């Protein structure tokens, strides 16, 4: 995997910001859906689709493509927005999120959007799917070797099935399996440290024969290096524990678990009235959280 220079990082930052704006716009149109996780994972999805993955939007069934499995299907707005920006379907299609008959269901549905690798929604099942796919691929013994990237939430680590998959992956030494955990510290009804403490998380994975890496989920260079490190490991699967800020890019949304499952217009009114939340979020993103002035000011 290639390194990234400053120009590439700038390009990725701009793209991630565009994707965050698309997330807000589609949630505003749908009037339902999750906000915090999708905004927090935009940098990781941008890096994967615009630098890391072997894939072809014009040929989604490319035999040698890498596989991306989204376990926490409720953050699908970031997956859909990134795929649209990458050219899998028109960006205008994003406005159909959660509408009857749309290819963009509230959780990813593979039969409705064939470019998806799996349907997802039940938390805790994605890693099992990824492990099975990696084992099947090894049995097929095809070349070149592909990578299986499983995107997960930290909240779903409370599910026992996840740890069954962790055990099996470690036993089978699936070195081309890379799990990426959104370690944002929140879930729908509170903070993970209060609902079910997960630490020491890195050591838990290591005890199951995984190579574990703590990484800043918003640092493109650090993320790229961590994925490169994971790809260099042989004899065990790897996990990136990506520390992210839920609601990233909109200061009023950041680190507030109440934005986990609420779209703009239905979130807490501590800082912004409900009828102004969507436009306020877009303005924050357009001005990079207030760091630059809007062209309309």
Q: What is the CATH number of the domain that holds 272?
A: 3.40.50.970
* 3-class state of residue 91 by DSSP: helix
Q: Kindly state whether residue 292 falls inside one of the protein's structural domains.
A: no
C-alpha distances in Å from residue 153, one per residue of 98, 226, 260: 21, 18, 12
Report whether 75 contacts 121 (CB < 8 A).
no
Q: Kindly state whether residue 257 falls inside one of the protein's structural domains.
A: yes
Q: Kindly state whether residue 296 falls inside one of the protein's structural domains.
A: no
Q: 177-183 and 190-191: which strand pairing? A: unpaired
Query: Can you give the pTM of this predicted structure?
Result: 0.96
Q: Kindly state whether residue 295 falls inside one of the protein's structural domains.
A: no
Neighbours of 208 (CB within 10 A): 18
Which of 23-26's residues contact partners 24+ apart within 8 Å by CB, and which partners? 23/77, 23/78, 23/81, 24/250, 24/264, 24/278, 24/281, 24/282, 24/285, 25/94, 25/95, 25/282, 26/77, 26/80, 26/81, 26/94, 26/95, 26/97, 26/104
Closest residue by Cα to residue 70 from 81, 58, 56: 81
Q: Kindly state whether residue 297 falls inside one of the protein's structural domains.
A: no
Structural domain span for residue 39: 6-286
One digit per residue, the tens of pLDDT, for the chain of length 297 reads 688 999 999 999 999 999 999 999 999 999 999 999 999 999 999 999 999 999 999 999 999 999 999 999 999 999 999 999 999 999 999 999 999 999 999 999 999 998 999 999 889 999 999 999 999 999 998 777 899 999 999 999 999 999 999 999 999 999 999 999 999 999 999 999 999 999 999 999 999 999 999 999 999 999 999 999 999 999 999 999 999 999 999 999 999 999 999 999 999 999 999 999 999 999 999 998 555 443 333
Domain count for the chain, please give it. Answer: 1
Q: Kindly state whether residue 1 falls inside one of the protein's structural domains.
A: no
């Amino acid at each position: 995997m290639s390194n990234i220079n400053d120009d590439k990082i700038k390009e990725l930052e701009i793209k991630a910001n565009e994707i965050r704006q698309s997330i807000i716009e589609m949630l505003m149109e749908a009037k339902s859906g999750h906000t915090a996780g999708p905004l927090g994972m935009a940098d990781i999805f941008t890096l994967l689709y615009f630098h890391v993955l072997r894939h072809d939007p014009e040929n989604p069934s490319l035999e040698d493509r890498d596989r991306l499995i989204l376990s926490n299907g409720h953050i699908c707005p970031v997956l859909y927005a990134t795929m649209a920006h990458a050219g899998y379907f028109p960006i205008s299609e994003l406005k159909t999120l959660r509408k009857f008959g749309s290819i963009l269901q509230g959780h990813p549905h593979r039969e409705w959007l064939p470019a998806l690798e799996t349907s997802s929604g039940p938390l805790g099942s994605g890693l099992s799917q990824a492990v099975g796919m990696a084992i099947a691929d090894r049995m097929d013994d095809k070349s070149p070797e592909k990578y299986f990237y499983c995107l997960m939430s930290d909240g779903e680590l409370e599910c026992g099935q996840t740890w069954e998959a962790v055990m099996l992956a470690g036993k089978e030494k699936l070195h081309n399996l890379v799990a990426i955990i959104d370690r944002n510290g929140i879930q729908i009804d509170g903070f993970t440290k209060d609902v079910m403490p997960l630490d020491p998380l890195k050591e838990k994975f290591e005890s199951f024969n995984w190579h574990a890496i703590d990484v800043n989920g918003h640092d493109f260079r650090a993320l790229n290096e961590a994925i490169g490190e994971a790809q260099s490991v042989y004899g065990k699967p790897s996990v990136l524990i990506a520390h992210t800020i839920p609601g990233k890019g909109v200061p009023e949304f950041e680190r507030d678990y109440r934005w986990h499952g609420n779209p703009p217009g239905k979130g807490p009114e501590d800082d912004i009235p409900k009828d102004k939340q969507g436009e306020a979020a877009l303005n924050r993103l357009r001005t990079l959280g207030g760091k630059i002035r809007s062209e309309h000011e």
